[in-house]
Amino acid sequence: MAGFEIREDFYLNGEKFKIIAGGMHYFRVVPEYWRDRLEKIKALGCNAVETYVAWNMHEAKKGEFNFTGLCDLKRFIETAQELGLYVIVRPSPYICAEWEFGGLPAWLMAEDGMRLRSSYKPFLDAVDSYYRELFKILTPLQITKGGPIIMFQIENEYGAYGEDTEYLKSIRDMMVKYGAEVPMFTSDGPWGDYLACGGIPGVLQTANFGSKGHEQFKILKKRIGENKPLMCTEFWVGWFDAWGDEKHNKGDIEEHVKDLDEILAEGSVSIYMAHGGTNFGFTSGANYYDELKPDVTSYDYDALITEDGELTEKYYAFKKVIEKYVKIPEVKFSSEIKKKAYGKAALTGSVSLRAALPMIAEKHETNSPESMEKLGQNYGYTLYRSELVKDRRIEKFRLMGANDRAKVYLDGKELLTLYDRELLTETKLATAEEKEGFIPLGEGKKRAFAPEGTDLTILMENMGRVNYGYFMEKQRKGIDGAVLINGHQHYKWEEYTLPLDNLDKLSFDADSDLGCGGKTSGPAFYRYEFDADEQGDTFLDMTGFGKGCAFINGFNLGRFWEIGPQKRLYIPGPLVKTGRNEIIIFETEGKALNAVSLCDAPALE
């Protein structure tokens, strides 16, 4: 029988088939490198590639769909087929993946009362509209129609989130309605009641884990019975990094090799990640347990193939295990990728955020401050500005319903920076014993006196929406509640949306006196330029800068933060032009340099 089936085992064209898949997310790799990474996955011994589908990439604005460039899912799947790889697709609509909002589009949060990942009708209607377009791409690429797709996943680790099985059935039914014919599966951690809450009748349950393969499969088998195949859909071979981690997270190769052998002896596997890639732009997510932990820009994940495409010791160790179970084909890599140290890129201009606002920000006026989503913005920064209506000593300051990081200024002078839990509590700024007069906060200084007409500015940064757990429904960014000064609400605000997707409109002549080479006056854009004689992968060293994001030739490379552990941003060669190149850095802490370095290696140790 032709096609792919799930019986007591997996069957491909009537023959038993052991799935050995490598996880790779097309949206984390520039399209020019898809073939290279897929070739390396095939050379590992994989017969399939597994990918999530990121809804927020394909429908960044409600009702507007994008399947081109980095979002060209059809091209990615067809490239895999050309290389002889089958494809497992996870169009969940939620993907987790340490990805912004778990792949859900930010505009969902603009609706009051929105309930995610449940039978809440407005959410299901949004998924239905998305699937109607998505499956126009996926349906013709199924193995039943001559394509390489052999399985679809329903939702993702739902047992760790909720127990609305009617919701899971609704997702399944939508997929069938729009043409899904290949077998479906769910995946959950094999702990507690995750498997019990995450499955529905008639759909294969699989497990996600990173160790103790035999023990985890024993739990899964008890759940699904003896007459179904065992599969680890996410065999975690590394881990992700968060800002503030002491160092880049790395796994134990010997333990991973042992576990891979155990898994393949009993069932099938998808290696998470075979190749991790990069959280370009504002796409990195965050976790929230005891505190907010946003993820770094690199999604290297200590994967078998590094962020920049190098084969690791772990890659070769895994290959030795895999060749015990399948014959590994010879694969000739078709791409020549060079690493280049372009040296220094010199500062050629700068402009303060204050001067840039009329060029790149959309202005709104409201009585109470509104969230980023209510203002029609998904990512980046939102600046709130108002004037104080009377002389006052600001003794207490509080932001209500604010995420994730606030920089507060009075008449352009920095007053304080608040992050995460600091936004949830009242900040005391003054005491009655101190002399009157404005004193910027510093060591031992706790006063802020502001006369009538003082400009109050709050720059809010979205550091990445939480991608896992209950806090997902608390992810409105900017200020969603109120600004309290001395306990009462302050009204009449100007809001400036700063998604930073239009930096071509910047003029770097607006602030000819803006300094550099150390401490500057505050948030600003810095332009650097360098010449390249050929294209090559390079790494932008952010040492000496505080916090912000960087762009090359208009492409958003992602965030940086001096607290590490990531110190350099990966620039794939296709983003470099032969000739003159422009780098723009938006920096919020007043720390910048007169030149930046472009290196030929990352700094992940």
Query: Per-residue pLDDT tens for 471-500?
Result: 999 999 999 999 999 999 999 999 999 999
Least confident of 265-269, 300-304, 521-525: 521-525
Are the beta carbons of 450 and 457 closer than 8 angstroms?
no
Q: What confidence category does residue 228 fall into, taking pLDDT thresholds of 50, 70 and 90?
A: very high
Mean pLDDT of the region 110-121: 97
Q: Do domains 343-352+502-599 and 368-491 have the same CATH topology?
A: yes
Please check the confidence at residue 550 and state whether its pLDDT lies above 90.
Answer: yes
Least confident of 55-64, 245-254, 423-432, 487-496: 423-432
Cis link prior to 404 (omega < 30° from 0)?
yes
Please check the confidence at residue 447 and state whether its pLDDT lies above 90.
Answer: no
pLDDT of residue 440: 45
Q: What is the distance between the alpha carbons of residues 495 and 457, in angstroms, rounded to a whole number?
A: 10
CATH of span 343-352+502-599: 2.60.120.260
Cis link prior to 273 (omega < 30° from 0)?
yes
Bridge partner residues of 406 (DSSP): 418, 460
Whether 133 is catalytic is: no
Q: What is the distance between the alpha carbons of residues 111 and 403, in angstroms, rounded to a whole number?
A: 17
34-44 vs 73-82: helix crossing angle, rounded to 10: 40
pLDDT of residue 460: 98
pLDDT of residue 511: 59
Percent of the chain exceeding pLDDT 70 equals: 95
Mean pLDDT of the region 263-267: 98
pLDDT of residue 394: 84
**Per-residue pLDDT tens for 181-211?**
999 999 999 998 999 999 999 999 999 999 9
| Domain edges within the chain | 16-322, 343-352+502-599, 368-491
**Per-residue pLDDT tens for 5-62?**
999 999 999 999 999 999 999 999 999 999 999 999 999 999 999 999 999 999 999 9
Q: Is CATH 2.60.120.260 what the domain over 368-491 is classified as, yes or no?
A: yes
**pTM for the model:** 0.95
Least confident of 212-221, 304-313, 348-357, 520-529: 520-529
**Positive/negative CA dihedral, 62, 65, 68, 74:** positive
pLDDT of residue 448: 67
Mean pLDDT of the region 227-236: 98
HEC per residue, 211-240: CCHHHHHHHHHHHHCCCCCCEEEEEECCCC
Instruction: Supply 325's token pair.
Output: 């179970």
pLDDT of residue 1: 54
Alpha helices for 275-374 (secondary structure H): 313-322, 353-360
Cis link prior to 565 (omega < 30° from 0)?
yes
Instruction: Supply 110's token pair.
Output: 């603009």
**Per-residue pLDDT tens for 279-303?**
999 999 999 999 999 999 999 999 9
Please check the confidence at residue 223 and state whether its pLDDT lies above 50.
Answer: yes
Q: What is the distance between the alpha carbons of residues 139 and 550, in angstroms, rounded to a whole number?
A: 38
Q: What mean pLDDT is reported for the chain?
A: 94
Bridge partner residues of 234 (DSSP): 208
Q: What is the distance between the alpha carbons of residues 120 and 110, in angstroms, rounded to a whole number?
A: 15
Mean pLDDT of the region 241-265: 97
Please check the confidence at residue 436 and state whether its pLDDT lies above 80.
Answer: no
Whether 163 is catalytic is: no
The single residue of 157, 461, 495, 589 carrying the catalytic annotation is 157
pLDDT of residue 605: 62
The single residue of 234, 262, 495, 587 carrying the catalytic annotation is 234
pLDDT of residue 517: 45
Q: What confidence category does residue 115 fall into, taking pLDDT thresholds of 50, 70 and 90?
A: very high
Please check the confidence at residue 574 and state whether its pLDDT lies above 80.
Answer: yes
Q: Is CATH 3.30.70.2190 what the domain over 16-322 is classified as, yes or no?
A: no
pLDDT of residue 518: 42
